[in-house]
Amino acid sequence: VLEISEYGGSFLELKQMRHFLGKLKCLETVKVGVDADNENNSEFLRANLLALPRLSSKCNIQFG
């Protein structure tokens, strides 16, 4: 389980998430908490993360 809190969707954060999802083949769950300042963009952030390729076919991204 990988937990990310206060995710804001910046270029560097998205790059880091791409790295995690693309390199960790045993990753099953990613829990993402969106930064309160970006609540209005939460659907956009969610779509961006769900579109990233994942090495693990079992990887499930949860938002909360």
pTM of the model: 0.85
pLDDT by residue for the chain (64 residues), tens only, comes to 999 999 999 999 999 999 999 999 999 999 999 888 877 888 899 999 999 999 999 999 999 8
Beta-ladder partners of 49? none
In the block, residue with structure tokens 């769950």: 29
SS (H, E, C) 1-64: CEEEEEECCCHHHHHHHHHHHHHCCCCCEEEEEECHHHHHHHHHHHHHHHCCCCCCCCCEEEEC
Q: What is the pLDDT of residue 39?
A: 75
Nearest 10 degrees: CA dihedral of 52, 56, 60, 64?
-60
